[in-house]
Amino acid sequence: VAQIVAGIDVGNSTTEVALAETGKSPDDVRFLSTSRVPTTGIKGTLSNLPGILYALKDAADAAGIKMDQLNLALLNEATPVIGDIAMETITETIITESTMIGHNPNSPGGLGIGVGHTIHIRDLVSAKRGEPVIVVIPYEYDFDLSASMIGQAIENGVDVQGGIVQSDDGNLITNRLPKPLPFVDEVSQIDHVPMNMLAAVEVADRGQVIRQLSNPYGLATLFSLTPEETSMVIPISKALIGLRSAVVIRTPEGDVKTRRIPAGTLKLIGKSQSISVELDGGADAIMEGRAEIGELVDVEGEPGTNVGGMVERVRGTMAEVTGKGVKEVKIRDILAVDCLVPQHVSGGLAQEFSMENAVGLAAMVSTDRLLMQQLARALTDEIHVPVELGGVEADNAVVGTLTTPGIATPLAILDLGAGSTDAALLNKDHSVKSMHLAGAGDMVTMLIQRELGIGGQGAFDVAEQIKKYPLAKVESLFHIRNEDNTVQFFPDPLDPKLFGTVALVTETGLVPIDTNHNLDRIREVRREAKRRVFLRNSIRALEDVAPLGNIRNIDFVAIVGGSGMDFELSEMLVKKLAEFGTVVGTANIRGELGPINAVATGLLLNYAKRTGTVRKDVE
Amino acid sequence: MADPKDRPSILISLERGVSEDAWEWVSYGAEEEGVPCRLEEDATGSDTVEQAYNASTLSRFGIGIGIGSSEIVLHEAHMPKGTPVLRRSLRDGNALEVCRMFGHNAARMVTQRPLLLQPVGSNDVAVGDGGNKNTRAQQKKHEPETQVPEIPEIKKEVTTVTQETVKEGDRFDTEDVAPDEIKRAVSAVIRNLRERGVL
C-alpha cells in the first residue's frame, strides 16, 4: 500500500522537508514536493516546532495534499553538535592623556607639516611675533572669520604653522590664507584639545598618506624625544599609519602604551594527555595544539583571564540550550582564528581607532539523543501523525547526495553549516564515517563584523548580508560597477541615497552598507574570513574522514547544505581541493534541487529501503 | 588658460532677486570638496527644477543647481527633466546651511562620494563623522524585525536591510541660530579692536 511520508531535516539555520509517496519496493519512491524555511530556535530543541510545522505545511500545500493525509514523519537524528563563537582582543592601546588626533576627515585642508604650541584662535591677537603656533578653531568661528584672523596674525609676524578645526572647513580656510598651511578638520571633541602644548599637524596630498607622524623617529625628531620616550610613542605612530591627516599633541603627563591584556591559557584535554596553549601565541599555536591532541574531550580556559571568560560563556550558552548543567557541557572541538579588529583608542579625540590583535574562537559541544526524542514526541502531539527518528544525519545526507548525477563512491560530503562544519565519507562498502568540527558560517559572519568594525544594533545581520551578497559601487544614478569590475546600467534612476555608496547586490535590489570602508577592503575581509574558516575547516574535516587521512583517497567531494549556495565558496573550495586530484562540486540533489534537501531526501530513501525490503521478505 | 566658460564646473542658476548669499554658500560647499563651480546666467527656467535642469545640461560635469526664492534643487543632466536628484525647501530657517549642503552634494556627484542628507556643521555632528548618524540609522532599520506575527525567529533569515528614509531637516532648526550670533558678536569685537588700532 502506498503511503505518504515526510522527511524532516532540522538544521542550524534552515528546516527542510521532502514529501514522497513510497510503495512496496525500495525503489518505489515518488517525490511530491520539498520546502525550506528558517529554523526556529536552536536546533534539537522544542523551539524548532513552529519552523517544522511551517515547513510541513509549505510542502503539503505544494504537493496539493492535506496534513492529515500524511502517514508518517521522519525526523533526522540531528548532528548532535551545536557551536558557539566568541572573540577577545589581546592587545589594547590606551592613551592616558589626550595626546593624539589621528583622523581621516574627507577633506582636510592644505598640505605639509606644522609644529607649534596650540593656541585658541581668539588668543591669536596676543601671540608673540615669530612664535610657532597651531591654531585651534572651534565651530563658532566660521572659515571667513578664521581665515581673516589667521591672515591678520601672519601679517603681524606670528608664525602660524597649521590648525585644528572643528567644522568641515579645512579647505575653505586654507584657500583663504596667503600661503597653504595644513589644517585637520572635523575634529568633533575640539574642547578636549589642551592649549599651549607642543603639537604637530600633518596633512598629506590627495592619494597620499602621512609619513612623519606615523614614523616613531619622525615624532622623535619633531618633539626632540629621548630614546626611552620614542619607544613610548610607538602606539601613536601605529595608530596613525595609513591616514591622510593627523595631529599629535605632546602633553607633559602624556603617556601612551599598548597594553597586552593577559589573555590566559587554553587547556586542551585529550583522551590520554592534555596540552596548555597560550592564547598570546595566536590561533596557529592553538590549532597546532588541537591537531596534536587528537580526539578532544574538553577544553578549559584559565579562570580570571579573557580566554577563561570566553570558554565559560560558550559553556553557559550551551548549558542553557541543552538544559544540562554547566559542568556536563563538554567542548569537543575548537577552531581559533587570528584577526585584526579596529578598537577605539581610549583617550583619543576624534574617535580614533587602532587595529588590535584578537583571537576568535568557535567551540562545539555534543548534545544528546534524548532531546530529539522529546522533539519527535512533541511533533506527534502536534500533527497527530506518527513521528520516527530516521537514523543518523550523516548517513541520510550521504544517501541523499548520491542522487546527484555523475557521482559515485567513495564519496565525501561537506556541509558547511552555520554552527559547525560536518563531513561524512561513504565508502565503497557503504560504511559511513562522519566528523563534526567547530566553526562555520556564524564564525565567518563574526569575523566580517569585527574586522570591519560594524557596530550598533543589528550589526550581525549586516555582516550576514555582506557574507551572502556580492558588492557593487554605485558610480552614477544610472549605473553600478560590480566587484568584478563589470558595469551594470539601469533604465530608471537609482535612489540618490545610494549614490556613491558601496552596496550589496541582493535579489530585492541594492542595499547600501553604512561604512567608510571601500569596496576592495570589504571584499578582502569577506573572502579572507571565508578562507580562514570554511577552507581551513574543509581540509581539516576531509583529512579526518579520508581513508589513511589522505584527501587523495577520496574520489568525489560534494558540497551540500546552504553553504553550497554561497556565491563564491564552491569556487574557492574547488580551487583549493584541485591540488588533491579530487572531483569537487556542489551537489545537485535528485538532479534538480541543488545542494539543499540532501538529508530530507536521504531520510525518505533510507526509509523506503528499510520498509521495502522488509515487506518483500514478508511476501 | 582656456575661457573660464569652457572649464568643467558645477553650474548654478540663481533666480532673479534671490540673495547672492545663497549661491555663495553653495560655492563654499563645493570648494571644501575641491570641485569648481560658478554662476551661469544662461540657465533659466520657469521654475527652480527647470532652472537646475538647464544648468546641468550646460555644465560639462552634467551637474547643476537651481536656487529659487523658496527652494533649492540639485539636478543631473541624465535625469528625467522633472525628476531632480535632491530638492529642499529654503524656508526652514537654516537656508544657508542647506545651500552649503547642496554645494557639497553637487561636488560629491562629481567625485562619486555618498551624498549628505543633513546639513553640515552642527556642533555635534561633523561630516566625516558619519559613524554616529549611521549607527542610528542602522538601529532604525532593524526595528521592524520584531513585529512579525507567529514565528518571530523566522525573520532572521529573510530580512533584507531596507534603507529607511532619513528624516530630513528636523534636527537643525533650533540649533543654528547660535553660530550666526556668535559670528556677529566676534566680528563686532574684531571691528572694535581694529578701530582702536589693536589689530
C-alpha angle with apex A414: A72 to A13, nearest 5 degrees? 55
Of B99, B127, B94, B115, residue with least CA distance to B24: B99
Q: Which amino acid is at B53?
A: Y
Q: In the predicted model, is pLDDT for residue A6 greater than 70?
A: yes
The string of DSSP letters for chain B reads ---GGGS--EEEEE-TTS-HHHHHHHHHHHHHHT--EEE-TT---SSHHHHHHHHHHHSSSSEEEEE-SSEEEEEETTS-TT--SEEEES-SS-HHHHHHHHHHHHHHHHHT-PPPSS-S--SS--SS-HHHHHHHHHHHHHGGGG--SS-GGGHHHH----PPPPPPSSSSTTTTHHHHHHHHHHHHHHHHHHHTT--
Q: In whole numbers, what is the pLDDT of chain B averaged over residues?
A: 72
The residues, ordered by sequence, that sit 6+ positions from A418 with a Cβ below 8 Å of its Cβ are A11, A12, A13, A83, A440, A441, A442, A562
A residues 372..411 contacting B (CB < 8 A): none
The confidence score (pLDDT) of residue A248 equals 86
The confidence score (pLDDT) of residue B109 equals 94
Of A294, A298, A306, residue with least CA distance to A267: A298
Quote the distance between the C-alpha of residue A318 and its chain's center. 21
Q: In the predicted model, is pLDDT for residue A216 greater than 80?
A: yes
Quote the distance between the C-alpha of residue A592 and its chain's center. 31
Output the CA torsion A529→A533→A538→A541 (10° steps): 180
The residues, ordered by sequence, that sit 6+ positions from A605 with a Cβ below 8 Å of its Cβ are A29, A399, A400, A403
Average pLDDT over residues A416-433: 85
Question: How sure is the predictor about B184, in pLDDT bands with cuts at 50, 70 and 90?
Answer: low
Of B104, B130, B82, B114, residue with least CA distance to B28: B104
Angstroms from B119 CA to nearest CA on chain A? 11
- CA gap A266, A246 in Å, rounded: 39
B residues 114..143 contacting A (CB < 8 A): 114-115, 117, 120-121, 123-124, 126-131, 134-139, 141-142
Q: In the predicted model, is pLDDT for residue A358 greater than 50?
A: yes
The residues, ordered by sequence, that sit 6+ positions from A558 with a Cβ below 8 Å of its Cβ are A401, A404, A407, A411, A412, A413, A414, A584, A585, A586, A587, A595
Backbone angles phi, psi at A102, to 5 degrees: -105, 120
Of A254, A273, A279, A453, residue with least CA distance to A352: A453
Find residue A439's DSSP bridge partners.
none
Question: How sure is the predictor about A616, in pLDDT bands with cuts at 50, 70 and 90?
Answer: very low
Query: For residue range A546-592, what is the model confidence (pLDDT) as tens digits?
Result: 988 899 989 899 999 877 888 898 889 888 888 888 888 899 999 99
Query: For residue range A375-405, what is the model confidence (pLDDT) as tens digits?
Result: 889 999 989 999 988 877 888 899 999 999 9
Number of A/B CB contacts below 8 angstroms equals: 166
Query: For residue range B32-52, what is the model confidence (pLDDT) as tens digits?
Result: 998 999 999 888 889 999 999
C-alpha angle with apex A154: A153 to A160, nearest 5 degrees? 95
The confidence score (pLDDT) of residue A154 equals 92
Exposure of A185 in the CB half-sphere (CA atoms within 13 A)? 29
Q: For residue B197, list chain A residues with Cβ-Cβ distance below 8 A.
A: none
Report the Cα–Cα distance between both ends of chain B, in Å, rounded: 39
* Candidate ranges A415-424, B166-175, B184-193; pick with highest mean pLDDT: A415-424
Higher pLDDT, A255 or A218: A218
The confidence score (pLDDT) of residue A147 equals 94
Q: For residue A141, list chain B residues with Cβ-Cβ distance below 8 A.
A: 183, 186
Reported pTM: 0.77
Give me Rg for the CA atoms of chain B.
21
Query: For residue range B118-156, what is the model confidence (pLDDT) as tens digits?
Result: 876 443 333 333 333 333 333 333 333 333 333 333 333
Residue A47 DSSP one-character state: G
Cell of A429: 562498502
Which range (A323-332, A407-416, A460-469, B102-111) has the least confidence?
A: A323-332
The confidence score (pLDDT) of residue B51 equals 94
The residues, ordered by sequence, that sit 6+ positions from A102 with a Cβ below 8 Å of its Cβ are A213, A236, A239, A240, A243, A246, A247, A345, A348, A350, A352
Higher pLDDT, A251 or A47: A47
Average pLDDT over residues B26-31: 93
- CA gap A2, A21 in Å, rounded: 6
Q: In the predicted model, is pLDDT for residue A435 greater than 90?
A: no
Partner residue opposite B142 with nearest CB, options A167, A186, A461: A461
Partner residue opposite B138 with nearest CB, options A54, A106, A457: A457
Cell of A313: 560563556
Query: For residue range A85-117, what is the model confidence (pLDDT) as tens digits?
Result: 667 666 666 655 446 666 767 778 888 999 999
Q: In whole numbers, what is the pLDDT of chain A averaged over residues?
A: 85
Question: How sure is the predictor about B161, in pLDDT bands with cuts at 50, 70 and 90?
Answer: very low
Query: For residue range A254-306, what is the model confidence (pLDDT) as tens digits?
Result: 555 555 666 778 899 998 889 998 887 888 888 999 988 888 889 988 887 77
Report the Cα–Cα distance between both ends of chain A, in Å, rounded: 13
Which of A111, A168, A176 is most worth mutating to test chain B (most B CB atoms within 10 A of its CB)?
A168
- CA gap A103, A213 in Å, rounded: 12
**Residue A35 contacts B, CB cutoff 8 Å:** no
Average pLDDT over residues A244-253: 80
Q: In the predicted model, is pLDDT for residue B171 greater than 60?
A: no
Average pLDDT over residues A184-207: 87
The chain A residue lying nearest B119, using CA atoms, is: A168
* A617 membership: H or E segment, kind and range: helix A598-618
The chain B residue lying nearest A507, using CA atoms, is: B160
Three-state DSSP at A360 gives: strand
**Residue B166 contacts A, CB cutoff 8 Å:** yes
Question: How sure is the predictor about A177, in pLDDT bands with cuts at 50, 70 and 90?
Answer: very high
C-alpha angle with apex A160: A159 to A162, nearest 5 degrees? 145
